[in-house]
Structure 1
Amino acid sequence: MAKKKNIKESDLISFYMDYVLTHNHKPKTIYAFAKDNNFEEQKFYEFFSSFETLEQSIFKIFFDNTFAILEKSEDYHSFDARHKLLSFYFTFFEILTANRSYVVQALSRDKNKLKSLKTLSHLKQRFSHYIENLNIQTIDLKQEKLENLKNKALKESAWIQLLVTMKFWLDDTSTSFEKTDVFIEKSVQASFDIIDTTPLKSIIDFGKFLYKEKINMN
């Protein structure tokens, strides 16, 4: 049988995700992966250097698809930073949910947490850039070095918040992941209230929610 020639990046990702979901592990070698899907091994290297870079691209594509949906929304462009971030979260987690079986497998496969973080490295780059361009209003420190440190801390804390939310979603057993929706609303609200140095009501509310969920999940 003639080998497939018109192989695109999206084809490789589709083949890979299907293999992982069917076999519950990634392919043993790129040669075997190419043979199973009837294309020349060289075609793989036109897009990826390894399975690891392919996996990183999958989560980057989840982000890109989220951003593309938001960009098409007229309402989104009229939102302030807080509501833009909420819209991002809800859309991003809809896409994760549509691919939940793969995401759970990809992020739960390695007990080594650093490997999971490496899988999300391209997502982190995209998300950090997104946060940087949200124009979140913070206190003006009036000194360049302090401003740079503040902006770096803002991006890192936003990334940690996304990771924590993903972990909550992975563990969420509620119908339609309703608890994750609540978690998103309360955590984003609390994080912006900290930045804005507003009263602690929403932060306390979020703390109560986390305390209750910790008890229930234990």
Structure 2
Amino acid sequence: MARKKNITKDNLISWYMEFVLENNHDPKTVFSFAKENNFEEADFYKFYGSFEAIKESIFSEFFNHTIKILAKSEDYPTYDARNKLLSFYFTFFEILTANRSYVVYALKENNDLKSLKYLKELREDYKIFVSNIGIEKIDLKQEKLEKIQSKTIQESSWLQLIVTMKFWLDDTSPSFEKTDIFIEKSINARFDLIDVKPLKSIIDFGKFILKEKINFN
């Protein structure tokens, strides 16, 4: 039988996920994996150097599919940061739900250190995403402080995503409706907490008082 040609990254991920869910372990070798799925072993290495590399890329691919779906929406570019993040969450968790058996296998059946390793690429992708959705920040006038502020937003956003994934993993409600509620309430609460407008008003008022005091003296 002729070997399959034009193997894609999505093909390899799909076949890999199917194998581990059916066998509860990685394929023994790339050779046996290629033979079972009827493609040339060399085609595997065009995309990945090992099965570990596939595992580390899967959640990043979930992220990429999420972004592709959002990009198809004509309204998405007009959303503010809060609604862009809500749209991302709902879309991303739809994709996780469509692949729940694998996600549970990857994150629940392994120890925490391995799970975080598998999420490494997702973490970097997500931090870049958060940096580019227009979350309002305080103009601190100092590059070092602004970098700290940006990093704080990225890391806290990543922590929020991890907490939400943990909630979703433990959610047993129909259609994971409790997770939907958790997403909406947690993101709204986050944006209310980081709303810089009241703080800007306080800073502006402080500058005014300081200026007036100096002029008065």
With structure 1 as the length reference, what TM-score do the two structures score? 0.86
Cα deviation, residue 180, structure 1: 0.4
Distance 2:85 2:196 in 1: 18
SS in 2 for 1:27: coil
1:173 aligns with 2:172: yes
Equivalences for 1:1-20 in 2 at 5 Å? 1-20=1-20
Amino acid across the alignment from 1:25: H
2:82 — aligned with what?
82
SS in 1 for 2:75: helix
2:185 — aligned with what?
186
Instruction: Judge conservation of contact 2:81–2:134 (CA < 8 Å) in 1.
Output: yes
Amino acid across the alignment from 2:119: L
Cα deviation, residue 3, structure 1: 3.1
Instruction: Judge conservation of contact 2:66–2:88 (CA < 8 Å) in 1.
Output: yes
Q: Deviations over 1:89-145 (max 9, x none)?
A: 00110111011111111112212x121111111111111110010110022222110
1:143 — aligned with what?
142
Give the % identical residues.
Answer: 62
Distance 2:181 2:12 in 1: 36
SS in 1 for 2:181: helix
Cα deviation, residue 193, structure 1: 1.3
Distance 1:79 1:55 in 2: 33
1:56 — aligned with what?
56
Distance 1:7 1:78 in 2: 37
1:34 — aligned with what?
34
SS in 2 for 1:74: coil
Cα deviation, residue 153, structure 1: 1.0
Distance 2:116 2:195 in 1: 30
Cα deviation, residue 86, structure 1: 0.5
Amino acid across the alignment from 2:74: E
2:205 — aligned with what?
none
Equivalences for 1:84-163 in 2 at 5 Å? 84-111=84-111, 113-163=112-162
Amino acid across the alignment from 1:88: F
Amino acid across the alignment from 2:149: K
Amino acid across the alignment from 1:156: E
Distance 1:74 1:90 in 2: 17
SS in 2 for 1:49: coil
Cα deviation, residue 169, structure 1: 0.2
Q: Deviations over 1:144-194 (max 9, x none)?
A: 100001101110110010011001000000111011011101110111111
Instruction: Judge conservation of contact 2:56–2:118 (CA < 8 Å) in 1.
Output: yes
- State the superposition RMSD in angstroms: 1.6
SS in 2 for 1:6: coil
SS in 2 for 1:57: helix
Cα deviation, residue 198, structure 1: 7.9
Distance 1:146 1:41 in 2: 50
Q: Considering only CA atoms, is the larger Rg found in Structure 1 or Structure 2?
A: 2
With structure 2 as the length reference, what TM-score do the two structures score? 0.86
Distance 2:116 2:154 in 1: 16
Distance 1:81 1:167 in 2: 23
Instruction: Judge conservation of contact 2:138–2:196 (CA < 8 Å) in 1.
Output: no
Structure 1: unaligned runs, 5 residues or longer? 200-218
